[in-house]
Amino acid sequence: MSSVLKKTATDARAERTLRTELFERYGCGPVQFSGNPNASYERHLVLDHVVKPGNASAREVFEALARSLRDLIAQRWLKTGETCDRENPKQVYYLSMEFLIGRSTSNNLLNLLVEPFVREEMARRGVDLDRLDDEEPDAGLGNGGLGRLAACFIDSMATLAIPAIGYGLRYEYGIFRQEIQGGRQVERPDNWLRRPDPWEVDRPAEAVDVRLQCAVQSRRGTPVLVADRPTLLRGVPYDRPVVGHGGRTVNTLRLWGAAATDAFDFAEFSAGDFFGAVHEKVVAENLTRVLYPDDSTTAGRGLRFAQEYFLVCCSLADIVRRFRARGNDWGALPDKVAVQLNDTHPALAVAELMRILLDGAGLGWDESWDLTVRTLAYTNHTLLPEALETWPVRRFELVAPRLLEIVYEINRRFLDEVRAKSPGDDGLAARVSLIEEGPEKKVRMAHLAVVGSYSTNGVAALHSRLLRETVLKDLAGLFPGRFNNKTNGVTPRRWLLLANPGLAALLTKAVGDGWVTELERLGAIAPLADDPAFRERFRAAKRAAKVRFADWLRSATGEVVEPASLFDVQIKRIHEYKRQLLNVLHVLVLYNRLRENPALDAPPRTVFFAGKAAPACHLAKVIIHLVNNVAAVIDADPAARGRLKVLFLPEYNVTLAQRLIPAADLSEQISTAGYEASGTSNMKFMMNGALTVGTRDGATIEMAEASGEQNFFLFGLTAEQVANSRGWYSPFWHVEHDPETRLALDLIRSGTFDLGEPGVFAPVLDALLAQGDRYMHLADLTSYVNAQEQVVALYGQPDAWARKAILNVAHSGRFSSDRTIAEYAADVCGAGPCPVD
């Protein structure tokens, strides 16, 4: 929680005015200075915690402060809802199985614009705001990019005053916590709700009942679904405020928690099985207990489908209730409601909305279908075939047979049309069918989403094109008008203003604070790239961010890094296609060079890795182990001391990203071209003044276009080259012809990094050689090493480096999620702002 509004003497009056204005806006002040005891922080300490302010623990202070900030929000939150009920605007509903929101308190404090006042008031009470941050756990309700994007989007919608509700699940356990033991990843449960969360408001009165055709039972401790035991589950809403910047609009993130209904155990009760009944009640609540990691094998995914069904049923019931409560007729559904499906995870919405319109509203098929298709829109986030969801028909039968009936009927009518359009082309019908035939029939969720919605978008230009030309080619041929691109963005509030106060202050000084909500205004600093004085201030801000990170790292982990070294950073989920291994191979090339030539002229470099491996993904876990062992061996070698350091930071989460990204000099975006749908950390690095070494993949292509390729270190095969060389590519050619590649691989093979476990990294060599190097690491290694040499050359010219970094910041404006949301609003859902007065 850093100071965002820096004070000068002449600002004093303006500050008083702002203070008055803000308190009028919120109806009260957060601490005691408004004189409104209902909103006071002390009141929460004494009445909620029954503790004397002087004796309160840090956690109690944190909770009381957060609750007093919630008091501040309450009036605006109510007013936002009232305004929407009165104006009846088109409302956006964002359905997502993941919202990776991170911490709320510092972000809300900042968006409310009261941070400087609260800081002062708390300091007067002897409390340092920054020390309270760590009392709040990260809300890790997501796996990675897809979940974090959802969080950035709801921030932008609130800032743009777009009437929007995010719908998700209230997992009691978020993404697992990562520990490193003996170099290996160990997963620990993330019980983030162990202590009460001051930001959530439960609303049992708005609970929704969901019918399942099966029961949730427990078999040897694991929850399983038992067929033909119709069950009623209750979805209880837990609302979180989503504060738009400036605090005028406060939207809602509504997370559903599963509970048993009162009628749940009636049968067992009357049979006298008291413990059995209570046990089942507890088991019912398992449904939203845990977030599934993104790789889960079918065996372990039993509840995931039921979770998706539960999210869809609760959310659509709520959406329809709101729609009807505003007095709308069914025919107006597409004019008043836009439902955005975040990937196929909530794609059951197609069938469930049909069910509501057919069975609930009593409309006919054609009208129901027309309304459904015109209400729903779908975003695809991956081209990886193994990540495209399909669900066995058996699972539908088990959980929701009526939805299966509807899917079959949608498919029957759809295939009739396809055959009528292209008679005789049976291949086409089989390829586009919603059902995948085979030993086990499955529903193709992406096909269901495309056929049942009016818009399908990819998340960067290249990804959207590949979607149309490859995985969804046939469907794109049938519905050309539905396909479009919406390049991702990130919120500059959290990722620049909050994460990097030093750079934020410099930018505000240069162009005013309008950039916070209109990031394109940063374009105005482009000419300053040629101003030596500005460059010096920019470099000072980066240096300060590096020192700040190094200080934090030392105090939190004991690790020591040298802020003068080049901070080279790759942080993201560990996955073969993201090619952390390519980065490791480059490190080994550098290490070999240093051992070969101790007098080598190269700047000291610290290579940071962070990211979680899916628990069942063996190779990803071996990669983490390798990084840790390489780090240990290099650390122990005098040849590398002070020149090369590798560090794997455990437990990568939103907060760690906020700390590390501002400190980065170099951003690693090195996926195999054609595989990273967009990437979003790439944008965060860019706006924080890092330079990018990257492939022509995802949104990185558009970032380089925006700032000029001369300001980027692009390398490697293009997506086309990757696709075209699939047939003949052989990693062995590179082993034979590229000496440094061979040496790097030899170093792994030699057992240098095995540390007492011979052969432990054989799976890495196997993937890179015997299995054909699916992600073409070796094909790109030489060109990557060359790009890194250019990095080094430029780093040796601090002024030239700063110039390019400034130009990158200046051209990062397009990558604000405000721009993405404005594009969705204009071209996809047709929703506009509904300002709250």
Residues with a known catalytic role: 381, 572-573, 578, 680, 684
Query: Dihedral angle at the C-alpha atoms of 78, 79, 81, 84, nearest 10 degrees?
Result: 170
- Amino acid identity, position 96: S
CB 382, min distance to ligand 26V, A: 4
**39 vs 146, beta carbon nearer ligand 26V:** 146
**Binding mask 251-290 vs ligand 26V (x if CB under 6 A, - otherwise)?**
----------------------------------------
23: helix, strand or coil: helix
Measured between alpha carbons, how far is 285 from 287 in angstroms, rounded to an integer?
5
User: What residues numbered 218-247 form the site for ligand 26V, per CB under 6 A?
Assistant: none
Alpha carbon distances (Å) from 667 to 100, 331, 813:
21, 50, 18
**70 vs 684, beta carbon nearer ligand 26V:** 684
From the list 30, 116, 137, 144, which residue makes contact with ligand 26V (rule: CB under 6 A)? Answer: 144
Residues facing residue 666 across a β-bridge: 568, 691
User: What residues numbered 301-360 form the site for ligand 26V, per CB under 6 A?
Assistant: 304
Cβ–Cβ < 8 Å for 109, 118: yes
Cβ–Cβ < 8 Å for 290, 191: no
Contacts (Cβ under 8 Å, ≥6 apart) of 198: 62, 63, 66, 67, 70
Measured between alpha carbons, how far is 356 from 350 in angstroms, rounded to an integer?
10
**121 vs 308, beta carbon nearer ligand 26V:** 308
User: What residues numbered 148-177 form the site for ligand 26V, per CB under 6 A?
Assistant: 149
- Structure tokens given for 623: 């990669």
CB 678, min distance to ligand 26V, A: 4
**680 vs 816, beta carbon nearer ligand 26V:** 680
Half-sphere exposure of 383 (CA within 13 A, CB side): 27
**Which backbone phi and psi does 85 adopt, to 5 degrees?**
-60, -40
- Amino acid identity, position 834: C
CB 573, min distance to ligand 26V, A: 8
**141 vs 516, beta carbon nearer ligand 26V:** 141
Inter-axis angle of helices 401-421 and 365-375, nearest 10: 90
Stretch that binds ligand 26V, among 145-153, 554-562, 660-668, 710-718 (CB under 6 A): 145-153
User: What residues numbered 443-502 form the site for ligand 26V, per CB under 6 A?
Assistant: 459, 488
CB 562, min distance to ligand 26V, A: 32
CB 488, min distance to ligand 26V, A: 5
Cβ–Cβ < 8 Å for 443, 435: yes
Half-sphere exposure of 635 (CA within 13 A, CB side): 13
**96 vs 500, beta carbon nearer ligand 26V:** 96
**565 vs 678, beta carbon nearer ligand 26V:** 678
Stretch that binds ligand 26V, among 109-117, 594-602, 673-681, 748-756 (CB under 6 A): 673-681
Alpha carbon distances (Å) from 395 to 212, 213, 292, 298, 507:
12, 11, 17, 11, 54
- Structure tokens given for 394: 């058996």
Instruction: Check the CA dihedral 565-568-573-574 and report its sign.
Output: negative
Measured between alpha carbons, how far is 223 from 654 in angstroms, rounded to an integer?
30
**302 vs 603, beta carbon nearer ligand 26V:** 302
Print burial letters for 763-794: b (CB count within 10 Å at least 16), e (below 16): bbeebbbeeebebbbbbbbbebbebbeebeeb
User: What residues numbered 695-714 form the site for ligand 26V, per CB under 6 A?
Assistant: 698
Stretch that binds ligand 26V, among 83-91, 126-134, 138-146, 712-720 (CB under 6 A): 138-146
**Which backbone phi and psi does 242 adopt, to 5 degrees?**
-115, 105
CB 577, min distance to ligand 26V, A: 9
Stretch that binds ligand 26V, among 256-264, 363-371, 381-389, 793-801 (CB under 6 A): 381-389
Q: Which residue of the chain is nearest ligand 26V when measured via CB?
A: 145
From the list 143, 249, 375, 812, which residue makes contact with ligand 26V (rule: CB under 6 A)? Answer: 143
CB 675, min distance to ligand 26V, A: 8
**Burial class of residue 475 (count of CB atoms within 10 Å of its CB; 0-12, 13-18, 19+):** buried
* Eight-class DSSP state of 318: H
**256 vs 264, beta carbon nearer ligand 26V:** 256
Measured between alpha carbons, how far is 635 from 646 in angstroms, rounded to an integer?
8
CB 469, min distance to ligand 26V, A: 18
499: helix, strand or coil: coil
Cβ–Cβ < 8 Å for 668, 693: yes
CB 153, min distance to ligand 26V, A: 10
Stretch that binds ligand 26V, among 112-120, 140-148, 744-752, 762-770 (CB under 6 A): 140-148
From the list 102, 116, 140, 145, which residue makes contact with ligand 26V (rule: CB under 6 A)? Answer: 145
Print burial letters for 576-595: b (CB count within 10 Å at least 16), e (below 16): bbbbbbbbbbbbbbbbbbbe
What is the size of the binding site for ligand 26V (CB under 6 A)? 20
Stretch that binds ligand 26V, among 142-150, 531-539, 594-602, 826-834 (CB under 6 A): 142-150
Stretch that binds ligand 26V, among 36-44, 110-118, 672-680, 710-718 (CB under 6 A): 672-680
- Structure tokens given for 720: 């086309």
- Interaction between residue 680 and ligand 26V (CB under 6 A): yes
**452 vs 679, beta carbon nearer ligand 26V:** 679
- Interaction between residue 94 and ligand 26V (CB under 6 A): no
From the list 2, 96, 107, 382, which residue makes contact with ligand 26V (rule: CB under 6 A)? Answer: 382
CB 698, min distance to ligand 26V, A: 5
Alpha carbon distances (Å) from 56 to 48, 50, 170, 348, 738:
12, 9, 29, 48, 64
Stretch that binds ligand 26V, among 403-411, 589-597, 633-641, 674-682 (CB under 6 A): 674-682
- Interaction between residue 381 and ligand 26V (CB under 6 A): yes
From the list 679, 694, 716, 731, which residue makes contact with ligand 26V (rule: CB under 6 A)? Answer: 679
From the list 65, 129, 146, 398, which residue makes contact with ligand 26V (rule: CB under 6 A)? Answer: 146
From the list 678, 741, 812, 820, which residue makes contact with ligand 26V (rule: CB under 6 A)? Answer: 678
Stretch that binds ligand 26V, among 141-149, 227-235, 634-642, 786-794 (CB under 6 A): 141-149
Cβ–Cβ < 8 Å for 155, 242: yes
Look at the block and give the residue holding tokens 């207990």. Answer: 289
Where along the sequence are the contacts to ligand 26V (CB under 6 A)? 143-146, 149, 292, 294, 296, 304, 381-382, 387, 459, 488, 676-680, 698
